Each structure stands twice: as C-alpha cells, then as structure tokens.
Copies of this chain bind each other. A is one copy, B any other.
Amino acid sequence: MSKQQAIGFMDSGVGGLTVVKEALQQLPNESVVYIGDTARNPYGPRPVSQIKAYTWQMTNFLLDQGVKMIVIACNTATSAALAEIKAALPIPVIGVILPGARAAIKATRNQRIGVIGTQATIKSGAYEQAIHRKAQQMTVFSQACPKFVSVVESNEFRSPVAKKVVAEGLQPFAKTGIDTLVMGCTHYPILRPVFQQWLGPDVTLIDSGAETVSQISMLLDYFEIANDQPDTPPMEAFYTTGSPTMFAEIASSWLQLKDLTAQRVDLTQLPQEKR
C-alpha cells in the first residue's frame, strides 16, 4: 500500500462528482479514480439486491485500479451496500449518509430536518435512522424525488424543466417547517441553486458530499495513508459505463477541469460480490 495510490470514488452516474469536486479542493495532493455507472443509472428504483450487485462490480473495478480507499459517493449504493463492502475489504470504505446526518444535526436550530433522496435511499430509512440514533429529539421528514437524478444526468439542470421538477418534488415540504434539508443524493448539489430558490434563504442545505470529504481527510490521517509526497503531481482518471463524451462534458464543466477525458468501461463481467 503506497500513500500515492488514488482514492476510488463510485456513483451510479455523475452525481459522485460533487464529492470529487470537494476532494480536489480539500485534498489537492490526492489522486482520484472515478467510476460512474451511467449505463445502468438510475439506481434508485432498483431492488436492493441488484444495487448491491452493481456496487460490488464498481468496487471490484476500483480495486483493480489499486486504490487505497473507497468512497461510495452515492447515497443509494451507501444505503444498500456500505455495511457489507466495508466489512469485507481490508482498505477503508466510507459512504455519504453518516457525514450528512451528522452535519444536519449540527445545522438545525428548530430540530426539524428534511431529507430528499432516491426511492431506494428513502425507502431504506438510512438517514432517519442515522439522525435518530444520534439525536432522538429530531423530527425528520423524508421524501423520494425520483425525477431529480435524470434531470442532472441528462445535463438539463440549468433548464426550465429543472425548475418545474424541483417545485413538484419539494412541494411536500411546504408546510413542514423544516429549517434544514439534506440533499441525500450526490446528484442533487448540482441543482442546489434551484432548491435554494424554491425553499428560500432560511433553509440550510446540507451537501453530504462536502461533509464526506472532511471525513475522508480525517481517515487518511488516521490510517496514515495521506499522500505526503506532493512532488509527484496527483492524477485524475474518470471511467463511465455510458457515453464518455457526455460524461466528460458534465464533469469538466462541474469540476472546472479543462482537457478532462473519460473512458468507457464494461462492468458487467466483474464479480457481483467479494472475490
């Protein structure tokens, strides 16, 4: 295990790039390998067993790239597969749900927290459980917003369609009195301005990805695997199971990296469990 090995990030598509963006800022010495399973996106409506199988395929792909740590930068995959994968691997594996839950508890002033996510994430109850385990007094309102991911993956997040879909999706929160909303899907921060406009300035939006990167930083230190030889410039590599052109377009705009390229890979032949 070398400290210069990359950190592996995975997501059902481009959403995990919101976590990578934070990582590039907070951890400039670290190399990054990213796999987005765009071809099989969205994960949210799929059964848990399938999400778990796909997440293992992404995990095995990242292990083949020799990563030193794995970040499941996808709430759906975290809720379905984090516990199993973390227990099975010798390298650190972290998800996005606990950091988001912790940040929401810290941010709320009226103890009323909203959570939005994919169907699978909301159905799992993972955020609600994580919040209540730490702070029983919180009232949590959860809402699946199945249409948001497609708006982001189809690169329509600046369009009027986005505004309409967000208004419909957030409507259930209108009378809840929440002062904090967890964006419980790593695709959602791309829609952040649209959310904030609909919710007004008094609601704090929690980006679980940004919180996750603080945790990554601490764990790199804890396990003594942070790259402390910054003379070797860090590398970024992006892989997708879908269209590399579309992926690279969204990624280079979101990460503000010029000359970003993505490679297409096939995950379907990889094991759907620990090998």
Contact = CB atoms under 8 A, between A and B. Distances in A.
B222 A133 contact: no
Interface string A187-226: 0000000000000000000000000000101110110001
B134 A226 contact: yes
Contact of A218 (B134, B136, B218, B226): B218
A102 interface: yes
A218 B215 contact: yes
Copies in the complex: 2
B221 A222 contact: no
Contacts of A145: none
Interface in A131-150: 133-134, 136
A217 B94 contact: no
Interface residues of A, number: 18
A219 B222 contact: yes
Interface string A131-171: 00110100000000000000000000000000000000000
B136 A102 contact: no
A102 B221 contact: yes
A230 interface: yes
A272 to B, nearest CB: 25
Chain A interface, >50% SS class: helix
Contacts of A102: 217-218, 221
Interface in A173-193: none
Nearest to A99: B218
A218 B102 CA distance: 9
Contact of A226 (B29, B99, B133, B222): B133
Contacts of A136: 230
Contacts of A228: 133-134
Contacts of A58: none
Contacts of A99: 218
A167 B98 CA distance: 44
A230 B138 CA distance: 14
A214 to B, nearest CB: 8
Contacts of A98: 221
A108 to B, nearest CB: 15
A219 to B, nearest CB: 7
Interface of A: 29, 92, 94, 98-99, 102, 133-134, 136, 215, 217-219, 221-222, 226, 228, 230
18 contacts: A29-B134, A92-B222, A94-B222, A98-B221, A99-B218, A102-B217, A102-B218, A102-B221, A133-B226, A133-B228, A134-B226, A134-B228, A136-B230, A215-B218, A215-B222, A218-B218, A218-B219, A219-B222
